Structure 1
Amino acid sequence: MARGSRLLAQLVFSLVTVIPVMRCDTSGRTCEPIRVDMCRDIGYNVTGMPNLVGHELQSDADFTLQTFAPLIQYGCSAQLHFFLCSVYVPMCTEKVPAPIGPCKGLCESVRARCFPVLQGFGFPWPAALNCSKFPQENNHQHMCMEGPGEAAGSGGLVPALVGPDSTKTGGPFFGAHLSCYQYGKPNLYVFVNRSGRCAPLCEAHVLWGPEDKRLAEVWLAVWAGLCFLSSLVAVLTFLVDSGRFRYPERPLGPLALCHVFLGAGWGLRAVAGRAAVACTPDPGDPTRSLLAQDGLENANCAVVFLLLYYFGTAASVWWVLVTLSWCLCSGLRWTHDRVQQHSSLFHLAGWGLPAAQTIAVLVLRDVDADELTGKKEDRDS
């Protein structure tokens, strides 16, 4: 009886003292499902914030993890992926008050293989991944994860480096991504040696999701069709009896013609498809496509650009000419015949200025594909 009373007293004492302590330690951290795509299916599916580097939100951890994507793809260590997830999205369990991160041995193994790679490109080992702050081994006092171990055949060897200039001389895939390190999602970009710029992958969703792109596709196709039909009716009406269209409304004919070709350009873009117009093969890896950066590389791309850019610019100029003719006739009381005397200047401005600007853009190859719509446009527009 005395023995049973003693055990009951110990149990009550534990419930009174231990449980409040655990609640106090975990007051700022609750276990939650892992929402970081990079760290799904790595052996556990629950994490707790703040993580081991102080991030309060999984979105912040995800943003930082994206910057390590080039290093993971480079393959310096088979354990790197797990190690990074264990730091930025540590394991969480209600049975342990603190998050369970990597062991020191795992960190040192990854650092030995990957630090030389970072050094080769002029990057230091991140201070947040200092191995000295992780537990020496997994035990009942300090729990940690030892990792899956290096893959067979890796041998701890670091792949050969070309050096810091490898991104300019056709270096490895990691070097190409490392040059795009300043972007929020560097793993979705590829450094193009010829242009010296970073180009997003053709199917990458950098700024817009797939639903946004589908909506834009349908929206533009519908309005392009309506624009083409209504403008075509206006042009045909103008051609049937062009003599009765006098200034100041006469410039509306060329303006409608511009919109006919604009509608045709958008229609061609919709029929050809996004990939055929906006994408070009990667010079370094023909098996993948990049969002085009050169208007002359892709014939479909060049045709769509000419239709949209030239006639879009011409439509803007002709709209200015419409307002100018209205101003001359209504404000300055010019007659139709007097305005007609300057019609050649109207046509020179309406067709010549857009032509000069379009030629300049093509000569400078200053043309990029838009991620949302897949159309080609002036890079500075």
Structure 2
Amino acid sequence: MTHSLYINAEAVEVSVEKVLASQTFARSEKLRSFLRYVVQKEQSGAAQALKGYSIGVDVFGRPEEFDPSSDPLVRVQAGKLRKLLERYYDTEGLDDPIRISIPTGGYVPQYKMNRQECPPPAVLRQLIIDPQPIEVFAQKPLRMRLFAYAGLTALNLALAAFNLNALATTPPAPPAPLLSGSPPPSTQIPRVVIDNTGLDSNLAKKLEDTIREAGNREATIDIMSVSDDLASAENMDSRLRFRIAVKPGAIAGSLEMSLVHDATGDIIYQASYDLYDSDATTRLETIALDLASSTLPVSGEIYRFAAQQGISSDLMQCMSLTELYNNTNARLAFINAKACQRKLVPTGRPGNIYSNLRMLRDASRDALKRSNA
């Protein structure tokens, strides 16, 4: 269950039952059955069985000769379910601490902490469990320190109100020996190598181009081909190297995608997709964008995995703090984002911070070059 890295099974069960009991889903018995089915399958470890055929037969009562490639029933109902979930979280479920979604291109549900209510676990640990490294608390006058402490207390109370302890899993164990050692270089960000050697050349190029474009927009990940990675491997901390492996699925016309951490071999994201459209290239672009949105941002699986293993660079941690400020506009978040940015870019922006992650990344790297000159 690679999508529930920080959310335990009990919390998922409570969340889905709340959705199913809502007014939004009250008149949609089939969609309630659809949602309950995919969540139960995923939670039981059978996510790979969530295909158009099994859903058509088990949920919608189609006969054994049901052919999802010619009968669009499941795809149509999945579209309705996605829209109904969006409507629920825009209205009744606006304050729910967990959001359930069914990404386009597949039927495996994903669960994410509501970013409006709960910062990512890595940021929570920095802000609440271990705030001492944030130098601003030691340098500011007493009045500012009291304000910061009050902010932390308020944040703790808010999290308690949402019963975060019941929603989050036990904090991860210390990093394995393979991932221990000195921290990564301060301005290094994760590298993702795209391994699409098993695909048709046209589809392989489309996949790589789409993921690379998404990575460039995020500015949080370096996207590389296998050949580019080999040419610059000596400059990369191997603990921050990941691989997107794409291969034809077991069922004809399907694809399997995995995001793998190279140093440990851990699969941190996995999904199967059907290439059912007549225009496979367009379909692949949609799939690639779905994969990118789940893995590349600072709230995605790569940054979460790095935080869990204790291998985030200074820049990665600062990007997380900056994104927290961008999302909340909270005073305490601003203080911590500014403090970490001043470490990376001592000259910085007088009286302000970089809110754009690309500008923060580039300024940090430029500052490092100047200091090493």
Q: If the length of structure 2 is used for normalisation, what is the TM-score?
A: 0.24
Larger radius of gyration: 1
Using CA pairs below 8 Å that are at least 6 residues apart, which structure has the higher relative contact order? 2
Q: If the length of structure 1 is used for normalisation, what is the TM-score?
A: 0.24
